[in-house]
Amino acid sequence: MNKGFFVRFLGWVIFIISLCVVIAGLVASSNENFEIGLIIFFVITGGFGFLLTRYKRVKKANSPMPTAPKKPDSVKPADYPTTEKDDTGESVYHIDYVDSEGNESSRDIEILRFEESGDRLYIFAYCHSAKANRQFLVDRVSSISLWGQPIENPQQFLLNKYKNSTGYIAREALIEHSDEILALVFLAKADGKMLKNERNVIGRYIDIIAPDIDAEAVEKMLKNTTCELAEYNKILKRAKLWKPEIKDLIINAASQIIALKKQLDPMEKATFDKLKTALSEP
């Protein structure tokens, strides 16, 4: 049962019972002091019950957020995930905001995370004014202040805050290592499918290069990531530029994927051999 509904229902029960008790007592009694006591009882008990009927649970900052459109990219891991750890909502900022229709408003917000869509940067925040989660375009924030102190150049301040967030750092790590991730995805899908235990192997590699990304978000990303043969061949040509420690990690992950197979598919073997050859080149 919903907590808010239960509390409001309990409030009505207390209010009605206390009202019935008072009415019955007033009808049955002729003692003035007893009647005054009944009225005081109703004010306290019935008032408490009535307050419970007005209960509304305020949604906290971790309520589901609307998702901004993802940046399309056909040759990089699908939908680079942000992370729940990318929580910068330590302070309440006061902002002046202009919406798409030119309406101005002032709001107190706690920043939850940032997200890019094309060349636009969005703030996902808990808005104290609306008592709900909202999203805002950074370039529509006309002013921002913290503890009553105005912050110069609000858009640059928010951009810097975004670039210092764990979500941005993790996203950049994924972009930097997208070739390795795609190579492992291509290997895992060489037999036509990528099983969960294979995604787990790739997920462990991602956890090394971008430890702040939520595992559930990585799982969702890998399910939607594909790599074509032509792109895989291009990646192998660039693989010789990978750092030795990255080559070792990829070979180790690729070997784990192959070891999961009860019966090795010829395409998987050929893919694995090509990867080992490319990584062994100086």
Q: At a CB cut-off of 8 Å and minimum separation 6, what does 28 contact?
A: none
Give the structural domain span for 26. Answer: 3-53
Do residues 194 and 273 both lie within one domain?
yes
Is 280 in a helix, a strand, or coil? helix
Do residues 254 and 239 both lie within one domain?
yes
Question: Which pLDDT tens digit goes with each residue over 11-22?
Answer: 788 878 878 887
What pLDDT, on a 0 to 100 scale, did the predictor assign at position 261? 79
Quick one: what percent of the chain has pLDDT higher than 70? 84
Q: What is the mean pLDDT of residues 189-203?
A: 90
User: Could you tell me if residue 205 is inside a domain?
Assistant: yes
Query: pTM, whole model, 2 decimals?
Result: 0.54
Do residues 176 and 252 both lie within one domain?
yes
Q: Per-residue pLDDT for 60 more than 70? A: no
Residue ending a domain, choose from 143, 164, 185: 164
Residue ending a domain, choose from 102, 131, 164: 164
More confident residue, 245 or 163: 245
More confident residue, 264 or 65: 264
Do residues 134 and 183 both lie within one domain?
no
Looking at every residue in the chain, the average pLDDT score rounds to 81
More confident residue, 264 or 231: 231
User: Could you tell me if residue 237 is inside a domain?
Assistant: yes
The three state secondary structure string of 241-276 is HCCHHHHHHHHHHHHHHHHCCCCCCHHHHHHHHHHH
Do residues 178 and 252 both lie within one domain?
yes
More confident residue, 216 or 134: 134
CATH of the domain at 181: 1.10.3680
Look-up: residue for tokens 């050929």?
270
Cα–Cα–Cα angle for 255, 256, 257, rounded to 5 degrees: 90
Do residues 276 and 196 both lie within one domain?
yes
Domain count, the chain: 3
What pLDDT, on a 0 to 100 scale, did the predictor assign at position 175? 83
Question: Which pLDDT tens digit goes with each residue over 46-56?
Answer: 777 777 777 65
Q: Per-residue pLDDT for 220 more than 50? A: yes
Question: Which pLDDT tens digit goes with each residue over 89-137?
Answer: 458 999 999 998 999 999 999 998 888 887 889 999 999 989 999 999 9
Q: What is the mean pLDDT of residues 139-156?
A: 91
Q: What is the mean pLDDT of residues 73-101?
A: 65
DSSP structure class, residue 68:
P
Question: Which pLDDT tens digit goes with each residue over 156-184?
Answer: 999 988 888 777 777 787 888 999 999 99
